[in-house]
């Protein structure tokens, strides 16, 4: 709340807003299924403020579907097991941004970036609005309940195509001490305390 207050009270001439739309590929660490096989939509709105020519801050409200998917087949290419987990969140990311003008090693080589390249890093709070876990098209009767919130870490890159459009990549991972749900047997091993959302997003931003 303090960060949002500081953000909204900043100078109006460096304040921008926009919309974001794209795709999220995801998996859930700890569910015994590997790979970014879950492909889902992403959409939302954001506001951005610049503190100076290098540093800024962004906050948003996004709909984001996370989860995992696994399709197992036999030697005849017939599906023997279909696992599908869908977790629908309303996510509020708050991130700092660093405008990168050059990439390279000083005194060896430097590559000038023709347009703005932003490095983003921050944290988000997400509220779970719906969850569904299916095995072969049927609800998993043995599933444990998911926590109704998630706190996640984020890191990403935004590249400005022109005055209004940006292309974006972001990696997100649940905070290690706060899993989205515990292991089936309740085991906890140091930072491995349950299941964690692990996802990447690819999106376009339109900035007003």
> How do residues 142-198 score in pLDDT, each as one tens digit?
677 899 999 999 999 999 999 999 999 999 999 999 999 988 766 777 777 899 999
CATH number at residue 14: 2.40.160.20
- What is d(CA 131, CA 180) in angstroms, rounded to the nearest whole number? 11
Q: Which residues contact 32 (CB under 8 A, 6 or more apart)?
A: none
Q: How far is Cα 20 from Cα 61, in angstroms, rounded to an integer?
A: 10
Region of residue 54 (phi > 0: left; psi between -120 and 50: alpha; otherwise: beta): alpha
Parent domain of 168: 2-207
Which among 92, 41, 93 has a CA at the least distance from the CA of 67?
41
8 A C-beta contact, residue 133 and residue 167: no
| Cβ neighbours around 102 below 10 Å, total | 11
CA dihedral (104, 116, 55, 154) in degrees, to 10, reads: -80
Number of domains into which the chain is organized: 1
Contact 203, 168 (CB under 8 A): yes
Would you state the torsion angle of the CA atoms of residues 94, 103, 18, 97, taken in this order, to the nearest 10 degrees? 20
Q: Quote the tokens at residue 200.
A: 């990447």
Rounded CA gap, 206 and 45, in Å?
9
Number of H helices, E strands in the chain: 1, 9
pLDDT (0 to 100) of residue 115: 84
Tell me, what's the pLDDT at 2?
A: 45
Residues of the chain with pLDDT under 50: 1-5, 10-12
* Distance between CA atoms of residues 21 and 169, nearest Å: 12
């Amino acid at each position: 709340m303090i960060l949002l207050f500081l953000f909204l009270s900043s100078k109006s001439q460096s304040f921008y807003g926009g919309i974001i739309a794209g795709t999220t590929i995801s998996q859930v660490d700890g569910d015994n299924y590997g790979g970014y096989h879950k492909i889902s939509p992403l959409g939302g709105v954001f506001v951005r403020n610049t503190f100076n020519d290098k540093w800024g801050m962004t906050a948003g409200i996004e709909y984001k579907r996370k989860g995992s998917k696994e399709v197992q087949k036999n030697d005849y290419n017939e599906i023997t097991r279909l696992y599908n987990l869908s977790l629908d969140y309303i996510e509020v990311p708050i991130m700092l941004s660093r405008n990168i003008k050059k990439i390279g090693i000083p005194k060896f080589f430097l590559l000038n970036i023709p347009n703005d390249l932003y490095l983003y890093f921050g944290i988000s709070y997400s509220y779970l609005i719906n969850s569904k876990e299916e095995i072969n098209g049927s609800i998993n009767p043995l599933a444990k309940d998911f926590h109704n919130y998630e706190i996640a870490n984020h890191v990403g890159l935004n590249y400005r195509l022109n005055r209004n459009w940006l292309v974006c990549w972001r990696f997100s991972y649940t905070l290690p001490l706060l899993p989205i749900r515990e292991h089936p047997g309740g085991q906890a091993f140091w930072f491995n305390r349950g299941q964690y959302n692990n996802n990447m997003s690819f999106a376009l931003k339109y900035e007003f």
